[in-house]
Amino acid sequence: MSNPIFLALDVPRLDDAVALAEKVKQHVGGIKLGLEFFNAHGAHGVHMISQLGMPIFLDLKLHDIPNTVAGAMQAIHVLEPAIVTIHASGGRAMMEDAKAAAGENTKVVAVTMLTSLDERDLKSMGVGGTPHDHVMRLADLAHTSGLDGVVCSGHEIKAVHDQWKDGFFVVPGLRPEGSNTGDQKRVVTPRQARDHGASVLVIGRPISRAEDPAQAARAIEATL
Ligand SMILES: O=C(O)c1cc(=O)[nH]c(=O)n1[C@@H]1O[C@H](COP(=O)(O)O)[C@@H](O)[C@H]1O
């Protein structure tokens, strides 16, 4: 079975990002490049990381009107990402148009509810119900909009997987037992997420901020 860990390369300097990716390469299945990396280094940065020969997950969290998101999807064909994120709250038309505009080898997955949010945050945004309800509703919308899968926390992955058997599921907000959760609120261990149906495990700081990132990645890999 291939390694489901994608390292979130949320580091500001390109040379540090390349060095970190080189260090952990043997212990992860791919690299996730997100807003911090893409806004700082753009297409050039993506090409640099692509040279390591690993699948690239471009976490752009697109959320705009359908025409604009479709145009953004077209613009990244050249980068050949394996996975791209959009926001499910952009709605059905946005998701349908995003999928139609994506490259044929790119999985388009929708962020349901960020792992940094909890029920109080939902309430403060005027959204009723529990995180579970909210995630299930948006996962169903993403499914019927023709997407490949969703991003959700480890708290919901089992229910989402039960409802969408052949979906592709990305789970961030992962922490090995006893490690610092930081800004994440809906957290599980990498092993729990894997056991409950995650296709991809996104892990950033527990590896990137470790004293020995390769050892940290190896230790997490060993728990799977
Ligand atoms: O789309 C994502 O990858 C994402 C969605 C989400 O709900 N929560 C979340 O943390 N992420 C990303 O996953 C990574 C988590 O990083 P760490 O908390 O450092 O492991 C970051 O790059 C986030 O941008």
Task: Tell me the CATH number at 125.
Answer: 3.20.20.70
Mean pLDDT in residue range 142-170: 98
For residue 178, give its domain range.
Answer: 5-223
Give me the pLDDT at residue 207, please. 97
| Ligand 1 binding pocket includes 111 (Cβ within 6 Å) | yes
Query: Would you tell me the crossing angle of helices 213-223 and 14-24 to the nearest 10 degrees?
Result: 40
Mean pLDDT in residue range 160-189: 97
Give me the pLDDT at residue 165, please. 96
| Ligand 1 binding pocket includes 101 (Cβ within 6 Å) | no
Residue 117's pLDDT band (boundaries 50, 70, 90)?
very high
68 among annotated binding-site residues: yes
Whether ipTM exceeds 0.85: yes
Tell me the CA distances in angstroms from 90 to 66, 72, 110, one per residue in order.
8, 14, 9
Catalytic residues: 61
Nearest-CA residue for ligand 1 atom 22 is 8
Question: Which atom of ligand 1 is nearest to 175's Cα?
Answer: 20
Give the number of domains in the chain.
1
For the cut 90, the answer to whether the pLDDT of residue 78 exceeds it is: yes
| pTM, 2 dp | 0.97
Give me the pLDDT at residue 1, please. 58
| Ligand 1 binding pocket includes 187 (Cβ within 6 Å) | no
Residue 169's pLDDT band (boundaries 50, 70, 90)?
very high
Beta bridge partners of 87: 111
